[in-house]
Amino acid sequence: MTDKPEEATPVEDIDTLGNARSPMSGMASAVKAGASVLESAQSLLAIRTRRGVQVELPAYLSVQATWFVAFGLQMVLFPHLITNTLGLDGTELGLANLALSGPSVIFLLIGGVVAERASGKPLLIFLHLAAAVPGFGLAIAIATNNLSYTIMLLYGLSLGTVGAFMMPARDSILNEVVERRGRVGSGVSLQKGVAFAILVQFAAQITGLILGGYADKLTRLPAWLGGIGIGPIESWILVALQGVIVGSGAIMALFLARGRKVKTGRSGIGAAFGDIAEGFKVVAADAKLWAMTVLMFGVGVFVIGAFLVVLPIINRDVYGLSSDGIRDMFVTFWMGAFVSSAALSLIKTINRPGRLLLLAQLLGSLAILPMVTQIPHWGFLMIVFGWGLSAGISIAMSRSIVQDAAPKDQIARVLSIYQLGFMAGAPIGAALMGGLVDAFGPYRIALVPAIGMVMLIVWVLIRTPIWHLRDQ
């Protein structure tokens, strides 16, 4: 029986030394090459993801800036159009301001629920585009000489409604942005992220206030800046600019991640009210959240009430100034808030945020007391600046405390309830201070916000854990 000839070994299975090579060695090489390609792809994806996450915070701050530049413009243009252009009095101005701020009180809690159920990115894009529409409509009305009080009311109602949904949608996203940055090794804490956001808010608001001051009149820069005259700029141009700026926030929002949705398990018409009720239970059950909500209600009553009513009355009756004095007062206040926020943004971690908050509010409340006597106007502005310093710290610390204490799946709802305390307190404080300043005059009235806030701070200090809070 003859032997079968051996099969020849394929050339590709013989190594360079002439030895036979296992067919599995080729497979191993292929697997190794594939793993290398996969590793490279994953590395590129990680770099791309890191870059995308790193650009989120600047994009978020840009979104914040577009809203508050427009808000600063509105703070000047809205009363200017009613009092100067239409020639209406304080009653109409008060009703128009109610149309502007009222929807926030009515829809703020619903806005918190919507912010949780919708993805943050598309919601912000929609809201910024919606906020641009009233500005463009008002600009057309002014440019065509069709401005009326009814149009101003419609403008206030529409923009106020958008604002009620904007606040919880924008503020709650900050937690996600900071959290994603932390995953790629960023050292930006939530406290620092809030400080950055507040800093941008104040800077943008001051920018809008300054721009609004050029409406329909010539404004000269100080002599040390050359005394150059700027303006007048027609109101419709500035209102249209407001629409362009707030609308550009939709472009900035494109660089944000889509965001997460919260599922509560509820459905039907009553679902939103069930979510709101659950949010109130969470706030009431947490001593820190409850204390901050009560404290912000007090700030609305005593501080904002005095800011909206007492300071303008002092500006007019004591110093004999008009809109120029109000502009200087607003810019001085927000400059103080900007300075303190800038200082906070340079601090990596504040170990005792509750103590800093209460001390800042105490000093801000006591700073009002010199107003019980007539002081020079520069002294008045110094007090307003100090008040702004206190406000910048208070706003940043209170927001960081609330956002840190709130459950991650209910941040928007908790923020809307916290903000509602402030929004509900402001009209009560304005009405209260308005009656008291008429009854007692512009001097003694300064005692009311000072004493009211000191009593509230003492209550928070004794009965709540805020003083003992430590940064985690």
Whether 300 and 414 map to the same domain: the answer is yes
Among the candidates 230, 261, 292, a domain finishes at 261
Q: Helix 23-80 vs helix 235-253: angle between axes, to the nearest 10 degrees?
A: 160
Least confident of 58-72, 102-116, 134-148: 102-116
DSSP per-residue codes, 253-310: HTTS--------S--STTHHHHHHHHHHHHHHH-HHHHHHHHHHHHIIIIIIHIIIII
Q: Which of 347, 350, 310 is nearest to 471 (CA)?
A: 350
**How wide is the angle at C-alpha 230 spanned by C-alphas 228 and 233, nearest 5°?**
170
Average pLDDT over residues 456-462: 93
Q: Give the Cα separation of 79 and 336 in Å (integer).
A: 23
Is the pLDDT score of 374 beyond 70?
yes
Domain span at residue 304?
A: 276-472
pLDDT tens for residues 392-408? 888 888 888 888 888 87
Same domain? 336 vs 393: yes
Residue 465 domain-assigned (yes or no): yes
pLDDT at 458: 94
Distance CA 385, CA 383 (A): 5
* Residue 8 within a domain: no
Q: Is 268 domain-assigned?
A: no
Rg for the chain (alpha carbons), in Å?
29
User: pTM above 0.85?
Assistant: no
> Among 12-16, 222-226, 258-262, where is mean pLDDT lowest?
12-16
Q: What is the CATH number of the domain that holds 223?
A: 1.20.1250.20
Asked if the model's pLDDT at residue 41 lies above 90, the reply is no
Please report whether residue 38 resides in a domain.
no
Query: Is the per-residue pLDDT at 142 higher than 70?
Result: yes
Question: What is the tally of structural domains in the chain?
Answer: 2
Among 215, 233, 261, the domain-final residue is: 261
The per-residue pLDDT for range 240-292, each reduced to its tens digit, is: 999 999 999 999 999 887 666 665 555 555 666 777 788 888 898 999 999 99
Q: Which residue has the higher pLDDT, 42 or 226?
A: 226
Lowest mean pLDDT among 33-37, 303-307, 395-399, 461-465: 33-37
In the predicted model, what is the mean pLDDT of residues 294-314? Answer: 80
